[in-house]
Amino acid sequence: MKKLALLVAVIALVAFAAAPSARAADTIKIGAAFALSGSIAVYGEGFKKCIDLAVEEINAKGGIKGKKIEIVYEDNKSNPKDCVTAVRKLITVDKVPVIFGPAGSSNFMATAPVAQENKVVLISAQGAAVGLTKAGDYIFRVFPSDTLQGPHLAKLAMSKGYKKVPVMYVNNDWGLGLKNAFVDAYKKMGGTVTDIIAYDEKKTDYRTELLRASKGNPPAIVNLTYINEGAVQFKQAFEMGIKTQWLCGSAARAPKMVELAGKAAEGVIGTYPSVPQNTKAYQAFKEAYKKKYGDDKIPIFGDYNYDMVYVTARAIEKGGYTADGIRKALPQAAKGYKGVTGDKTFDNERSPKFAEYGIWVVKDGKIEDYKK
């Protein structure tokens, strides 16, 4: 029913947007081209929950200068083509000055030039790919770039004594970017990459890729994978009797992955941009999330989405409700702002300047912080 209600809401919204009434000015509209269907809708639903939570909180406190925020969700169907359609629709029909961009670096990077050309601010809360914001000065992200993660992963491998590893990665902008960042750093530290295996997303059968990666029984395999792909791969590797230490990136770190893979995911470790969860801000966020949704499993990257809403709201308050105003105000609005995910100050490439990386491990069916 919720989806039906959403559909009705979207139709009503379009009808209102089309009518030249004074109503439209009553709210501050922000576009969100999210994956509500398709392969990564697993993520999209979680982001939406956290966005809605932040919007509800801001509106409860009086909104932005008395105006309520309203998010215009547009389904991006999890593929680059429909992402572009969704962003174009938000720009031309809803005429929003700022859009929360699609998840999945390839999806986001497909839409970035469109936003840049139309001079509309586009923000990512989970894009880690190295060149994500290169399309221009209207493109921002509140999630740290993999330029920072690659060396951390290489350091992890070396510190555990793995001097030779094969590397598997999901063949898209995110996987490729992190693979390159990892391989560069790892080689500099004296490591040897024995094989590089790219694989496609959304497959159900990775047995032969796994077989090739496990040739020669390497003690560790680096696998830069996603939730579903990772779950399938760990399950199949377990069934095939491959015994190795899996080293992953941030995108596989999700309770859903462990739920799907069961005990096959036991012992998998990886790096991730760590968000210190013992801070007051994080606890408050977790509490609010639990109150609204009844469970305290924060969706992957949900905290970054939550921060994105606050940073954007601050920028709109400072710079006004225009794309140029928001673009110019964003760096000031974020400078020194301590969100749930830490200091949100931007660097010169409109990416977070600071990021801490932690190590995650799957232990007893749960994702925990790795302790040496």
Q: Which residues contact 303 (CB under 8 A, 6 or more apart)?
A: 50, 275, 282, 285, 340, 341
- Minimal distance in Å, beta carbon 38 to another protein? 7
Q: Where in 128-187 is the site for another protein (CB under 8 A)?
A: 171
Does residue 107 sit in helix, strand or coil?
helix
Q: Which stretch, 92-100, 131-139, 257-265, 275-283, contacts another protein (CB under 8 A)?
A: 257-265
**Interface pick for another protein out of 22, 92, 192, 205 (rule CB under 8 A):** 205
Q: Which of 32, 36, 69, 86 binds another protein (CB under 8 A)?
A: 36
Which residues face 140 on adjacent strands? Answer: 123
C-beta separation of 89 from 32 below 8 A: no
How far is the CA of 143 from the CAs of 301, 325, 342, 347, in angstroms?
9, 22, 11, 12
238 near another protein, rule: CB under 8 A: yes
Kindly state the smallest distance separating residue 144's Cβ from another protein, in Å: 26
Within 168-254, residue ranges assigned H as helices are: 173-188, 207-213, 227-239
Which of residues 197, 255, 361, 363 is near another protein by CB under 8 A? 197
Told to check if 214 binds another protein by CB under 8 A, we report yes
| DSSP-assigned states of every residue in 217-233 | --SEEEEE--HHHHHHH
Q: Which of 48, 141, 256, 327 binds another protein (CB under 8 A)?
A: 256
The verdict on 103 binding another protein (CB under 8 A) reads no
The piece of 34-42, 135-143, 287-295, 347-355 that touches another protein (CB under 8 A) is 34-42
Under rule CB under 8 A, residue 207 binds another protein: yes
What does the DSSP assignment read for 293-350?
HS---PPTTHHHHHHHHHHHHHHHHHH-SSHHHHHHHHHHHHTT-EETTEE--B-TTS
Whose tokens are 């998998």? That residue is: 268
Specify the stretch interacting with another protein by CB under 8 A; choose among 20-28, 150-158, 206-214, 340-348.
206-214
Under DSSP, the state recorded for 214 is T
Distance, CA of 284 to chain centre: 21
Separation CA 189–CA 42 (nearest Å): 36
Q: Does 44 bind another protein (CB under 8 A)?
A: yes
Q: Which is nearer to another protein, 78 or 147 (CB)?
A: 78
Tell whether residue 231 is a contact of another protein (CB under 8 A): yes
Q: What is the contact surface with another protein in residues (CB under 8 A)?
A: 3, 36-39, 41-42, 44-45, 171, 196-200, 202-205, 207-209, 211-212, 214-217, 227-228, 231-232, 235-236, 238-241, 256, 260-264
